[in-house]
């Protein structure tokens, strides 16, 4: 079965063709990083307007790359939420129109469920080493907008064990990189800077939130501002730092002279990863997970993978970097399993910007 997956929930316009929820026939991702970089974060109106111009060419290339004609597509899967309203609307409207025009079913996909299913994808037809995740598994979804720890008992059965109560892990990286003037997106920039840094010279708080599996990263931003202040002649005004005005993303010499940026980045990264890894390992042990899987942009972080590997007794699995970021293949992949369970969108499907991850009532 060939599914066309369409993803436009944030700042990537993406379309992909996936066979049987597993084999990636094409996966075209048009990133908007160039557009948002100078703002140090995604500007929603600019994002949706870029989706409008990019969506049709992206779908065209996805079909071409897959070598399939539009009449060979069996269904269309599209992200209905969560995400930015204006961005979601572009993908959903396009998908709805194509499903009517081509006479194929439309499958609504939760973006978070899409991230989870990036672990079921491969681009090789005969890969003897390919092992899909085993249940029960614990999945840590860590992206720019989400931090959720999920127990997956079977396809579609999700128990959200915990989530962030304020900033997402990727958001903490992005805000941290703004303060350190390292550029956008912040996660890769901080990871890069941290490779040359020495840990243990700067102290950042860890919010354990008792025995819960919830997370909190907003305190880190204030702690980081305080560290950076030590190296500045002028105090930083937090309001200015988090404004959406364009600003020079790379550190001007006068910003914080003699600041040991790499060392600070290393300790800052460690503070985020430490909590993510320890809570994930604890959940895996408590729920006797057969496997632990990672998803979302922050899943590319090498310290997170290394730390988890050392803490876990269950095997760890994560998607290749291209599949960690937002992409259409993960939506098509999740769409396949939803289709198998009989999920179809009706013609009045709307976007759902706050959509939570939950088990369908028919499966509960
Ligand atoms: O999943 P994603 O592409 O988009 C969202 O749905 O948000 O995740 C993007 C996020 C950004 O916050 C980015 O800074 C973070 O993932 N990220 C990383 C790394 N690569 C991307 N964070 C830490 N380490 C990385 N290597
Ligand atoms: Zn995402």
List pLDDT tens digits, range 197-247: 999 999 999 999 999 999 999 999 999 999 998 887 766 665 544 445 444
Residue 301 in this model has a pLDDT that exceeds 50: yes
The pLDDT of residue 2 is above 80: yes
Q: Is the pLDDT of residue 359 over 80?
A: yes
Ligand 1, pocket-test mutation among 30, 139, 143, 294, most atoms within 8 A of CB: 143
> Does the pTM exceed 0.85?
yes
| CATH topology (fold) of 2-121+322-363 | Nucleotidyltransferase; domain 5 (3.30.420)
* Cβ atoms within 10 Å of 357's Cβ, excluding its own: 20
The least confident of 64-78, 148-162, 244-258, 312-326 is: 244-258
Which residue has the least CA distance to atom 8 on ligand 1?
Answer: 297
CA-to-CA distance for 256 and 182, rounded, in angstroms?
13
Contact, 186 vs 235, CB < 8 A? no
Nearest ligand atom owner, CA of 145 = 1
pLDDT tens per residue across span 99-144: 999 999 999 999 999 999 999 999 998 888 888 999 999 999 999 9
> Looking at the DSSP assignment, which residues form a beta bridge with residue 104?
none
Cα(169) to centroid of ligand 1, in Å? 8
Residue 174 CA, closest ligand 1 atom number: 14
2-121+322-363 with 137-233+253-318: one CATH topology? yes
Average pLDDT, the chain: 92
Q: Which ligand is nearest to the CA of 168?
A: 1
Architecture of domain 137-233+253-318 in this structure: 2-Layer Sandwich (3.30)
Buried b (16+ CB within 10 A) or exposed e, 147-173: bbbbbbeebbebebbbbbebbbbbbbb
pLDDT in tens, 141-182: 999 999 999 999 999 999 999 999 999 999 999 999 989 999
Q: How much is the average pLDDT of 80-93?
A: 97
Give residue 145 CA to ligand 2 midpoint distance, Å.
7
- Tell whether omega for the bond before 83 is within 30 degrees of 0, i.e. cis: no
Domain limits, the chain: 2-121+322-363, 137-233+253-318
- Is 13 in contact with 35 (CB distance < 8 Å)? no
Q: Which-ligand-closest: CA of 273?
A: 1
Q: pLDDT category, 299, cuts 50, 70, 90? A: very high
pLDDT per residue as tens digits for the range 244-270 = 544 445 555 567 778 999 999 999 999
Query: From ligand 2's centre to the CA of 31, what distance in Å?
Result: 13
Per-residue pLDDT, 33: 80
Residue 285: the pLDDT is 98
């Amino acid at each position: 079965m060939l599914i066309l997956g369409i993803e436009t929930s944030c700042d990537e316009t993406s379309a992909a063709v996936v066979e049987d929820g597993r084999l990636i026939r094409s996966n075209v991702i048009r990133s908007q990083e160039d557009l948002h970089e100078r703002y140090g974060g995604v500007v929603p109106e600019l994002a949706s307007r870029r989706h409008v111009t990019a969506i049709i060419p992206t779908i065209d290339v996805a079909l071409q790359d897959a070598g399939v004609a539009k009449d060979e597509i069996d269904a269309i899967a599209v992200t209905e939420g969560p995400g930015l309203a204006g961005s979601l609307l572009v993908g959903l409207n396009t998908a709805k129109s194509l499903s009517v025009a081509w006479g194929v079913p439309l499958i609504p996909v939760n973006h978070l469920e899409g991230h989870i299913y990036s672990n079921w994808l491969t681009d090789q037809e005969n890969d003897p080493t390919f092992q899909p995740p085993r249940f029960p598994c614990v999945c840590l979804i860590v992206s720019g907008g989400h931090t959720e720890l999920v127990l997956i008992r079977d396809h579609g059965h999700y128990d959200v064990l915990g989530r962030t109560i304020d900033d997402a892990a990727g958001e903490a990286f992005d805000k941290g990189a703004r303060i350190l003037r390292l550029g956008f997106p912040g996660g890769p920039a901080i990871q890069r800077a941290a490779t040359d840094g020495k840990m243990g010279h700067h102290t950042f708080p860890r919010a354990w939130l008792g025995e819960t599996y919830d997370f909190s990263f907003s305190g880190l931003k204030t702690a980081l501002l305080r560290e950076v202040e030590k190296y500045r002649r002028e105090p930083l005004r937090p309001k200015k730092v988090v404004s959406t005005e364009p600003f020079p993303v790379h550190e001007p010499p006068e910003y914080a002279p003699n600041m040991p940026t790499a060392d600070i980045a290393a300790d800052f990264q460690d503070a985020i990863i430490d909590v993510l890894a320890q809570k994930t390992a604890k959940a895996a042990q408590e729920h006797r997970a057969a496997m632990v899987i990672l998803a979302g942009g922050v899943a590319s972080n090498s310290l997170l993978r290394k730390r988890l590997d050392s803490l876990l007794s269950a095997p760890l699995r994560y998607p290749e970097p291209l599949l960690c970021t937002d992409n259409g293949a993960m939506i098509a992949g999740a769409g396949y399993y939803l289709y198998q369970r009989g999920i179809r969108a009706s013609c009045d499907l709307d976007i759902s910007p706050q959509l939570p991850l939950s088990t369908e009532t028919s499966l509960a």
